[in-house]
Structure 1
């Protein structure tokens, strides 16, 4: 039996790809996490039925969300990423030598742990980097509690239907 994944993006458009294997499924307090293997995109992280990242093209998103923002700041030293539990944005942020501290505020620890296991190249900066501080917390609350503390704040959260 063939399995296919389809994400409807608008009333008249969506993407469909063949699933070669379901690697992981978990329903957390916040969302459903699916990690599937596809022939076209490699491994794919799906949260609440929406693709968040894939092995093949993750660099396009993570490089753009990170480098553009950091290159517009004259001296980014402390950076906050709200969401981004896959670790890709953090991986790119720590490539900037001026960054002394990069904080990840991810509400769902299940995303972080599953990405460490199934997307180790993307999540590589989440462990063992002294400049990275991974916190399983509500990012919006964290921003309110730490006003003026960050040079750059990036929002790498799920679609509005998620947490």
Structure 2
């Protein structure tokens, strides 16, 4: 918690220099260090419960649906038969919650590096942690990149719900260091995912902010286009993430995949009946309509 603003949590990071974001804290529920990172859970005054890892907000109850539903349903509803899904990361439980209630998903394998994040959310934020009780789920604790390297299983969908690749910190001038998710932001990791996809398989990875990380996004999308026949970038609006926005890199090994048109179509009424708060078919399509500056960068890179 920020010592300069008593009763407030303030997020600062060298990944978004020159800016900060604060939430008023009503009650601290957990403040501990695991083997990998600093874990904090608190009740905020207006955004419900909040999870922070190494000083960076991972979710708030008020707006988590805009991220959890989109990172899950953009890939899953773009696949005609998404029966077997691998989740790398996602220790808060939000992605497996969405997969658990999807009628087409039969089996979910999750690999999360930090079991203390899982326990924190199961204990303090059951609205997300409830996903861990799904009978569809088999949970492994360990490094996701190593899991992909060693497993021989094939998956229809792979979802990488990773935190940022470097550690946040209160001092913007401090030297940055890799965080637990650093290995999930490189070409080798995408090649490993491709090897573990079944025919027609799709992957979706947390893709950072177009306002803050356009260079990183362009580089990753470019590398993915060397590996996969179909690659798209989509985004969603999440107020408590840096710049209020976060994106997703989607890849398919099926040249016929059209991410912009969902195979499984849920209109607003159907989505609401399923308990969804953000996702519907119209939002799915709109997520791929990008602002000119990033669309132009990705188009130029595509045509090289």
Specify the TM-score bucket, using the shorter chain as the normaliser. Answer: over 0.9
Q: 1:64-87: CA deviations, max 9, x gaps?
A: 000111011111111011110110
Give the secondary structure class of the aligned counterpart of 2:128: coil
Question: What does residue 51 of structure 2 align with?
Answer: 45
Residue correspondences, number: 162
Question: What does residue 66 of structure 2 align with?
Answer: 60
Query: Is the 2:47–2:62 contact (alpha carbons within 8 Å) kept by the matching residues of 1?
Result: yes
Query: Is the 1:104–1:133 contact (alpha carbons within 8 Å) kept by the matching residues of 2?
Result: yes
- Kindly indicate whether residue 78 of structure 2 is the aligned counterpart of residue 75 of structure 1: no
Select which of 128, 131, 141 maps to 1:125.
131
Partner Cα distance (2:49, 2:68) in 1 = 16
Partner Cα distance (1:81, 1:61) in 2 = 15
Select which of 103, 106, 116 maps to 2:122.
116
Partner Cα distance (1:125, 1:6) in 2 = 28
Question: What does residue 149 of structure 2 align with?
Answer: 144
Partner Cα distance (2:48, 2:11) in 1 = 16
Query: Is the 1:75–1:98 contact (alpha carbons within 8 Å) kept by the matching residues of 2?
Result: yes
Query: Is the 2:12–2:55 contact (alpha carbons within 8 Å) kept by the matching residues of 1?
Result: no
- Kindly indicate whether residue 110 of structure 2 is the aligned counterpart of residue 135 of structure 1: no
Q: CA deviation at 1:50?
A: 0.3
Q: CA deviation at 1:2?
A: 3.4
Query: Is the 1:81–1:156 contact (alpha carbons within 8 Å) kept by the matching residues of 2?
Result: yes
Partner Cα distance (2:63, 2:152) in 1 = 34
Select which of 102, 112, 116 maps to 1:106.
112
What is the TM-score of this pair, normalised by structure 1? 0.93
Query: Is the 2:27–2:42 contact (alpha carbons within 8 Å) kept by the matching residues of 1?
Result: yes
Question: What does residue 4 of structure 1 align with?
Answer: 8
Superposition CA RMSD, Å: 1.5
Give the secondary structure class of the aligned counterpart of 1:53: strand
**Larger RCO: 1 or 2 (CA < 8 Å, sep 6+):** 1
Give the secondary structure class of the aligned counterpart of 1:115: helix
Structure 2, gaps ≥5 residues long = 167-178, 181-304
- Structure with a larger share of its residues in strand: 1
Give the secondary structure class of the aligned counterpart of 1:117: helix
Partner Cα distance (2:112, 2:33) in 1 = 16
Structure 1 residues 147-158: aligned runs within 5 Å: 147=152, 149-158=154-163
